[in-house]
Amino acid sequence: MRIIAGRCKGHRLKTPPGEGTRPTSDRVRESLFSSLTTLDVLTGAHVLDVCAGSGGLGFEALSRGAAHVTFIERAASVCRVITANARSLRVTGEVEIIQAPAASGAGRLPDGSIDLIFADPPYPMPEAEVTAILDACVPLLRDPAALIVLERSSRSPEPTLPEQLEVFRHRKAGETALWFLQLRE
């Protein structure tokens, strides 16, 4: 996996060994970041990458102008890969890594501190757990323009959203579905 654009363009990222993580494909990341660039949400943003895996989404956001990324990942071995990637990209001062389950890790962050959240839970994760992650993320959103991007299998059902969220945009790319969520007005 590589960084597609921005100041770290072309840098390769290490990925965790085994089948426990599923990096977002280059094609899906290109589509996602094209949308985010159009929405002008990256420059100076404080980003949260939940169920971060290798950190590909968060590092791509940093490369394209985000100010800071917090990664939440459950497995210590995967957190070590994120740390190695941050060192390789020379962005250790712009990242924080929290080793914890997604919902409890999100609960450690101050309310109203995040502009953009990537939630990329494992495809087999039960929908109730996905909803719990979204619930934990809602208080973190800085303002009504802040977004959550939920990545799921295109075969997954429509997510059950906390009442404070609504779907802003929905895209499918092959096996991947992206749900752009925002605070309900």
Residue 16 lies in a domain: no
- Cβ neighbours for 89, distance < 8 A, ≥ 6 positions apart: 3, 8, 11, 59, 62, 63
* 164: Cα within 13 Å, side-chain hemisphere: 15
Q: Are 154 and 175 in contact (CB under 8 A)?
A: yes
Q: Is residue 136 part of a domain?
A: yes
Read off the CATH number of the domain in which 50 is found.
Answer: 3.40.50.150
87-109: per-residue pLDDT in tens? 999 999 999 999 999 999 999 99
Q: What is the pLDDT of residue 34?
A: 92
**Residue 115 covered by a domain:** yes
| 8 belongs to a structural domain | no
Domain presence at residue 161: no
How sure is the predictor about 3, in pLDDT bands with cuts at 50, 70 and 90? very high
Q: Is residue 12 part of a domain?
A: no
* Domains of the chain: total: 1
Does 32 map to a domain? no
What's the pTM value of the predicted model, to 2 decimals?
Answer: 0.94
By DSSP bridging, strand 46-50 and strand 68-73 are parallel
173 lies in a domain?
yes
Q: Whole domain around residue 117: which residue ranges?
A: 42-155+167-183
pLDDT digits (tens, 9 = 90+) for 28-52: 888 899 999 999 999 999 999 999 9
Residue 19 pLDDT greater than 70, yes or no? no
